[in-house]
Chains A and B, each alone.
Chain A
Amino acid sequence: MGDSTHMPAGRRRTTMTGAEATAEAMRQIHPDVVAAYPITPQTDIVMRFARFVSDGVVQTEFVPVESEHSAISAVLGASAAGARAMTATSGPGFALMHEILYVVAGYRLPVVMPVANRALSGPINIHGDHSDTMGSRDAGWIQIFSENAQEAYDNLIQAVRIAEHPSVRLPVMVTQDGFIITHGMEIVETLADEEVRQFVGTYEPERSLLDVDHPMTVGALALQNSYFELKRQLAEAMAASRRIIADVGEAFGRLSGRYYGLTESYRMEDAELAILALGSTAGTAKVVVDELRARGQKVGLVKVRVFRPFPAAHLRDLLRHVRALAVLDRSDGYAGMGGPVFAEVKAALYGLPQGPVITNYVYGLGGRDITPEMIESVYADLGELARRASKEPERVVAEAALTPHYLGVREPDGALISALGALQLNGER
């Protein structure tokens, strides 16, 4: 990032939370319609944007709906009407949108949505994990994860251009870890308004509901003779979006100096032990990688920035020569064999003639901290795993792949969490 004294006119370098940076990006994108319902920790995004509306800073039509279900429904209507439309949500609100997320993608509407990742009930928890968006990972939305406030800002601006690209036309969600990023204060460099305006361009839909002289029917009933083809086209657009996402990341890099790809590899050149993570944990892991590298250990990090479409080919290239890999999941799939990212990484690496022994750590549920020490312990585990795998590959590989670890779980003496989420004390009482 450049020194502020040498920044192009209109750029700013200032401290912001992820929520504030997101609202700022929304102001600069200047969508036609925003419909939203408050939910912690997303609220901070929308209330800041509502302030821009009230102060006349933007001319956006703001629709303060009565639920997230209606937020995404209204945004669908607005987008079909030819407007650039956005909403934002989090956790249970995101879950309430689940049904309509499929409809937006199925109609190929370029809706853009920041998501503050949050745990799902029960028991209720307002803090950050990835259970919400992972639950809708097959809805047909592009999913971009942000490591920090800067990326939340940068990704949102890129999302508009990705979503509206004629060969993509898919909705994009840009996630940031609830509280950790939404409420964490960081230095963020923002572009000039004019730069953002030019980067996202104007939205010129091919067709619009408001073109009353050329009426069209949106959302027809598609039966056995057509539904399958429409979904297949969606899948093709999703696969094709990989190239567009990379191109937009490159174009954004030329503008801002910050380049983006589907994945980011950190000190992976000769890495023997690697961690794969999404979101803010990637930032924590980078610090640990630097420390271990200073001690001569060949460790690296792979950050999955784009979770949908899944960057399988990239991962096969990046991880081919790694001896042991830990996939960190900030949600569980309750499959009894690890989280969703783990399952997909394993699938992506399937059939490699040589590849890492892969294991899984589920961590950080409900906002539980993940510390550099924990990440360091994972690298230590990987060293041991690689050593054992070199002796008894078949047994160790199978064991590692089927036994998830729960990182940072505390199980205090004398207390256990019952299935109902109530704390029960053993002994008297």
Chain B
Amino acid sequence: MPTLKQLARRPNPLTGGHSACAGCGFPQAIRLVLMSIEEPVVVAGATGCMEVTTTTYPNTAWNVPFIHNAFENAAATISGVEAAYKALVRRGKINKPIRFVAFGGDGGTYDIGLQALSGAAERGHRFLYVCYDNQAYMNTGIQRSGATPFGASTTTTPAGEVVPGKQQRRKDMAAIMAAHNIPYVAQTTIAHWQDLTRKVQRAMQVDGPAYLNVLAPCRLGWGTDPAMTIHLCELAADTCAWPLFEVDHGKWKVTYTPKTKLPIEEYLKPQERFRHVFQDSTGGLLAAIQKDVDEQWQALLARAGQT
């Protein structure tokens, strides 16, 4: 395990000067993931804020090879890159080790990109897919996605007089990927850098597909202070709204258990998208969210045999 100082001295894969918002989560996700990898990497990215803000022609913020194809096919694109690598190694045209990473937001991963990701995972390409999960279609203006949590207000699930935000749970993407029986699946946040680094390094060791779900807040979509981004991730983990865990060759393990499990309002209160929850005089909505979080946390502990 490198120290934070050692990590910081590694070449920066994503330079400053990109146009992401102050306090945006994904640049940290990219830097932490790529700086945790020893070997040279080639990166594919789905359409979204990440691609738009880092590759505005004629500029690029990427110091590593990067390819963007479309919104729904980052996993298929990296499959082809990885296949080309295997073919060219076999023909003796390349002889150095290269690692392959794909980044997608939650919309490009949980929703429109799910088929391509599922196919690539099933075929066993050796690559790491990282979903920087900000829980909505932020790039297009904060529409709900399959990753949007229960109760959140988005522009397509606005909290209104009759419907108080999104009425469904978020899709359990990590479990879906684990069900593919790929060697390694994990979930973490950009605040838990040691946890993230260790998980990426583990993902690089396994011979096959790996999947990492990284909570990466969107200060615009969440309606939060840019300075709060990292702290929000800590609150997400400490309230168990976003548990940290891994599934290593089928074995589930919770990798972070809060010393004191905080009530969900600690995490929701700073966020504009949950403001209506606190305006609900009955308190029923908050209770429902708390109940949902508790149930999912218990289910995770049970799955990991850590109850």
- A82 proximal to B (CB < 8 A): yes
Is the Cβ of B44 less than 8 Å from the Cβ of A77? Answer: yes
Question: Do A78 and B81 contact each other (CB < 8 Å), given the known contacts A69-B116, A83-B87?
Answer: yes
Is the Cβ of A78 less than 8 Å from the Cβ of B67? Answer: no
- A426 proximal to B (CB < 8 A): no
B238 to chain A, nearest CB (A): 37
**Contact flags (1/0) for A97-121 with B, using CB distance below 8 Å?**
0011001000000000000000000
From 76 to 95 in chain B, residues with beta carbon under 8 angstroms from any chain A beta carbon are 76-81, 83-88, 90-91, 93-94
Question: Do A32 and B70 contact each other (CB < 8 Å), given the known contacts A66-B122, A77-B44?
Answer: no
Question: Do A103 and B86 contact each other (CB < 8 Å), given the known contacts A63-B80, A76-B77?
Answer: no
A404 to chain B, nearest CB (A): 36
Is the Cβ of B81 less than 8 Å from the Cβ of A77? Answer: yes
Question: Do A209 and B67 contact each other (CB < 8 Å), given the known contacts A81-B80, A221-B56?
Answer: yes
- B22 proximal to A (CB < 8 A): no
B88 to chain A, nearest CB (A): 6
From 173 to 203 in chain B, residues with beta carbon under 8 angstroms from any chain A beta carbon are none
Is the Cβ of B69 less than 8 Å from the Cβ of A100? Answer: yes
Residues of chain A contacted by B62 (CB below 8 angstroms): 215, 217
- B40 proximal to A (CB < 8 A): yes
Question: Do A59 and B73 contact each other (CB < 8 Å), given the known contacts A70-B79, A212-B65, A221-B51?
Answer: no
Query: Cα distance A218–B65 when bound, in Å?
Result: 8
From 88 to 126 in chain B, residues with beta carbon under 8 angstroms from any chain A beta carbon are 88, 90-91, 93-94, 96, 98, 115-116, 118-120, 122-123
Residues of chain B contacted by A99 (CB below 8 angstroms): 70
Is the Cβ of B58 less than 8 Å from the Cβ of A33? Answer: no
**Contact flags (1/0) for A59-99 with B, using CB distance below 8 Å?**
11101111101110111111111110100000000000001
Residues of chain A contacted by B98 (CB below 8 angstroms): 210, 212
Question: Do A32 and B51 contact each other (CB < 8 Å), given the known contacts A65-B76, A218-B67?
Answer: no
Residues of chain B contacted by A226 (CB below 8 angstroms): 57-58
Query: Cα distance A71–B79 when bound, in Å?
Result: 10
- B220 proximal to A (CB < 8 A): no
Is the Cβ of A74 less than 8 Å from the Cβ of B55? Answer: no
- A222 proximal to B (CB < 8 A): yes
Chain B interface residue count, Cβ-Cβ cutoff 8 angstroms: 48
Question: Do A32 and B119 contact each other (CB < 8 Å), given the known contacts A77-B67, A217-B55?
Answer: no
Query: Cα distance A66–B119 when bound, in Å?
Result: 5
Chain A interface residue count, Cβ-Cβ cutoff 8 angstroms: 43
Residues of chain A contacted by B72 (CB below 8 angstroms): 69
Is the Cβ of A63 less than 8 Å from the Cβ of B55? Answer: no
CB < 8 Å: which of B52, B56, B83, B93 contacts A35? B83
From 217 to 237 in chain A, residues with beta carbon under 8 angstroms from any chain B beta carbon are 217-223, 226
Is the Cβ of A76 less than 8 Å from the Cβ of B118? Answer: no
Is the Cβ of B68 less than 8 Å from the Cβ of A69? Answer: no
- A270 proximal to B (CB < 8 A): no
CB < 8 Å: which of B52, B66, B86 contacts A217? B66
Question: Do A77 and B88 contact each other (CB < 8 Å), given the known contacts A64-B123, A209-B81?
Answer: no
- B64 proximal to A (CB < 8 A): yes
From 131 to 151 in chain A, residues with beta carbon under 8 angstroms from any chain B beta carbon are none
Residues of chain B contacted by A211 (CB below 8 angstroms): 65
Is the Cβ of A82 less than 8 Å from the Cβ of B65? Answer: no
Is the Cβ of A81 less than 8 Å from the Cβ of B69? Answer: no
- B254 proximal to A (CB < 8 A): no
Query: Cα distance A290–B55 when bound, in Å?
Result: 59
Task: Closest B residue to A62 by CB, please name it.
Answer: B83
- B42 proximal to A (CB < 8 A): yes
- A216 proximal to B (CB < 8 A): yes
Is the Cβ of B69 less than 8 Å from the Cβ of A73? Answer: yes
A9 to chain B, nearest CB (A): 26
Question: Do A220 and B88 contact each other (CB < 8 Å), given the known contacts A69-B76, A76-B77, A212-B98?
Answer: no
- B63 proximal to A (CB < 8 A): yes
Question: Do A70 and B116 contact each other (CB < 8 Å), given the known contacts A33-B83, A35-B83, A219-B55?
Answer: yes
Residues of chain A contacted by B79 (CB below 8 angstroms): 35, 63, 65, 70, 73-74, 77
Is the Cβ of B51 less than 8 Å from the Cβ of A33? Answer: no
Is the Cβ of A66 less than 8 Å from the Cβ of B116? Answer: yes
**Contact flags (1/0) for A165-204 with B, using CB distance below 8 Å?**
0000000000000000000000000000000000000000
Query: Cα distance A81–B79 when bound, in Å?
Result: 11
Is the Cβ of A220 less than 8 Å from the Cβ of B68? Answer: yes
Is the Cβ of A77 less than 8 Å from the Cβ of B116? Answer: no
A218 to chain B, nearest CB (A): 4
- B60 proximal to A (CB < 8 A): yes
CB < 8 Å: which of A32, A73, A77, A103 contacts B91? A32
From 13 to 54 in chain B, residues with beta carbon under 8 angstroms from any chain A beta carbon are 40-42, 44, 51-52
Is the Cβ of A81 less than 8 Å from the Cβ of B116? Answer: no
Is the Cβ of A209 less than 8 Å from the Cβ of B76? Answer: no
Residues of chain A contacted by B80 (CB below 8 angstroms): 33, 35, 63, 73-79, 81, 85
Most buried by A among B80, B88, B120: B80
**Contact flags (1/0) for A6-37 with B, using CB distance below 8 Å?**
00000000000000000000000000110100
A209-B42, A219-B55, A221-B51 known, 13 other contacts, Cβ within 8 Å = A61-B87, A66-B119, A67-B116, A69-B73, A70-B116, A78-B81, A81-B81, A209-B65, A212-B41, A212-B96, A217-B60, A218-B66, A218-B68
User: Could you tell me which A residues sit within 8 Å of B by CB distance?
Assistant: 32-33, 35, 59-61, 63-67, 69-71, 73-83, 85, 99-100, 103, 209-212, 215-223, 226
Ranked 3 nearest A-B pairs via Cβ: A77-B80, A66-B119, A74-B80
A–B pairs, 20, beta carbons within 8 Å = A33-B84, A63-B80, A64-B123, A65-B79, A70-B75, A70-B115, A70-B119, A78-B87, A81-B81, A209-B42, A210-B65, A210-B84, A217-B55, A217-B60, A219-B55, A219-B68, A220-B60, A221-B52, A221-B57, A222-B57
